[in-house]
Chain A
Amino acid sequence: MSILVNKDTKVVVQGITGKEGSFHATQCKAYGTQVVAGVTPGKAGQGVDGIPVFNTVEDAVKETGANCSLIFVPPAFAGDAVVEALDAGIELVVCITEGIPVKDMMMVKDYMRKNYPKAKLIGPNCPGVITPDEAKVGIMPGHIFRKGSIGIVSRSGTLTYEASYQLTQYGLGQSTAVGIGGDPVHGLSHKDVIALFNEDPETEAILMIGEIGGTAEEEAAQFIKEKVKKPVFAYIAGITAPPGRRMGHAGAIISGGKGTAQAKMEALRDASVYVIENPAFIGKTIAEALGKL
Chain B
Amino acid sequence: MKLHEHQAKEILKRYGLPVPEGKVAFSVQEAILGAEELGEFPLVVKAQVHCGGRGKAGGVKLVKSYEELQEAVEGMLGKVLRTFQCPDGKPVSRVWIEKATNIEKEYYLSITLDRAVSRPILMASAEGGMEIEEVAKEKPEAIHMLHIDPSLGLMPSQARKVAFRLGLPVNEFVKIALALYRAYIDLDASLVEINPFVLTKEGSLVLLDAKVELDDNALLRHRDLEELEDLSQLDPLEVEAKRYNLNYIKLDGNIGCMVNGAGLAMTTMDIIKLAGGNPANFLDVGGGANVEQIANAFRILMADPNVKAVFINIFGGILRCDRLAQGLIEAAKMVEIRVPVVVRMEGTNVEEGRKLLAESGLNFVNAVDMWDGAKKAVELAS
Contact (A158, B264) CB under 8 Å given A110-B118, A110-B119, A248-B211: yes
| Complex: A103 Cα to B259 Cα, angstroms | 29
Number of A interface residues, CB 8 Å?
64
Q: A139-B317, A247-B112 are in contact. Are A111 and B347 (CB under 8 A)?
A: no
Chain A CB within 8 A of B282 CB:
yes
Q: Mark B243-259, 1 if CB is under 8 A from A, else 0.
A: 00000010100000001
Cross-chain contact A247 with B213 (CB below 8 angstroms): yes
Contacts of B270 in A (CB 8 A): 237-240, 279
Taken together as a complex, chains A and B put the C-alpha atoms of A159 and B265 apart, in Å, by 9
Q: Which residues in chain A, 129-183, are within 8 Å of chain B measured between CB atoms?
A: 139-141, 143-144, 154-162, 165, 182
Q: Interface size for chain B: under 10, 10 to 19, 20 to 34, or 35 or more residues? A: 35 or more
Instruction: Mark contacts of B100-136 with chain A using CB atoms, 8 A cut-off: 1 yes-contact digit, 0 otherwise.
Output: 0000000000101111101111010000000011001
Evaluate contact between A252 and B136: CB separation under 8 angstroms. Answer: yes
Query: Is the C-beta of A42 less than 8 angstroms from some C-beta in chain B?
Result: no
Q: In this complex, what residue of B is CB-closest to A278? A: B274
Question: Contact: A252 with B133, CB < 8 Å?
Answer: yes
Residue among A99, A158, A235 making CB contact with B315, cutoff 8 Å: A158
Q: Find out whether the CB atom of A185 lies under 8 angstroms from the CB atom of B113.
A: yes
Shortest Cβ distance from residue A279 to the other chain B in the assembled complex, whole angstroms:
5
A109 with B118: CB separation less than 8 A:
yes
B318 engages A182 (CB within 8 Å) = no
Q: Is the CB of A182 within 8 A of B262?
A: yes
Cα–Cα, bound, A245→B119 (Å) = 21
Given A165-B315, A250-B193, answer yes or no on A211-B137 (Cβ-Cβ < 8 Å): no
The residue in chain A whose Cβ has the minimal distance to the Cβ of B284 is A158
A152-B112 Cα distance, complex, nearest whole Å: 31
Tell me if A106 and B263 are in contact (CB < 8 A).
no
A293 within 8 A of B: no
Identify A111's interface contact among B116, B151, B267, CB under 8 A. Answer: B151
CB closest residue in chain B, given A258? B116
Chain A residues with CB under 8 A of B374? 280
Taking a contact as CB atoms under 8 Å apart, the answer to whether B263 and A102 are in contact is: no
In angstroms, how far is the closest chain A Cβ from the Cβ of B321? 11
Tell whether, in the assembled complex, residue A102 and residue B119 are in contact, meaning their CB atoms are under 8 Å apart: no
B120 to chain A, nearest CB (A): 8
> Bound complex: CA of A24 vs CA of B269, how far in Å?
30
Q: Given the known inter-chain contacts A106-B113, A248-B193, please indicate yes or no for A158 contacting B263, CB distance below 8 A.
A: yes
Q: Given A103-B218, A240-B279, A278-B274, check contact A154 B263 (CB 8 Å).
A: yes
Minimal Cβ-Cβ distance residue in B for A155: B263
Contact A237 B267 (CB under 8 A): yes
A244 x B85 contact (CB < 8 A): yes
Q: Is the CB of A245 within 8 A of B249?
A: yes
Contact partner of A156 among B85, B137, B150, B264, CB < 8 A? B264
User: Chain A 237-279, CB within 8 Å of chain B: the 1/0 string?
Assistant: 1111110110111111110110000000000000000000111
Cβ contact within 8 Å between A100 and B263: no
Interface residues of B (CB under 8 A from A): 52, 85, 110, 112-116, 118-121, 123, 132-133, 136-137, 140, 143, 149-151, 185, 188, 190-191, 193, 195, 211, 213, 215, 217-218, 220-221, 249, 251, 259-264, 266-267, 269-274, 279, 282, 287, 315-318, 346-348, 369-371, 374
9 residue pairs of the A-B complex, CB under 8 angstroms, read: A76-B221, A110-B119, A110-B151, A156-B264, A157-B287, A248-B213, A278-B274, A279-B267, A279-B271
**Chain A positions near chain B (C-beta within 8 angstroms):** 75-76, 99-103, 105-107, 109-111, 114, 127, 139-141, 143-144, 154-162, 165, 182, 184-185, 209, 211-212, 214-216, 219, 235, 237-242, 244-245, 247-254, 256-257, 277-281
Can you list the 8 inter-chain pairs with the closest CB atoms, starting with the nearest? A156-B263, A158-B261, A280-B371, A101-B218, A159-B263, A158-B264, A250-B112, A253-B136
Contacts A159-B261, A185-B118 known; list 14 others, CB within 8 Å.
Answer: A102-B217, A102-B218, A140-B317, A154-B263, A157-B261, A157-B263, A158-B259, A162-B315, A247-B190, A247-B213, A248-B112, A248-B213, A256-B137, A279-B267
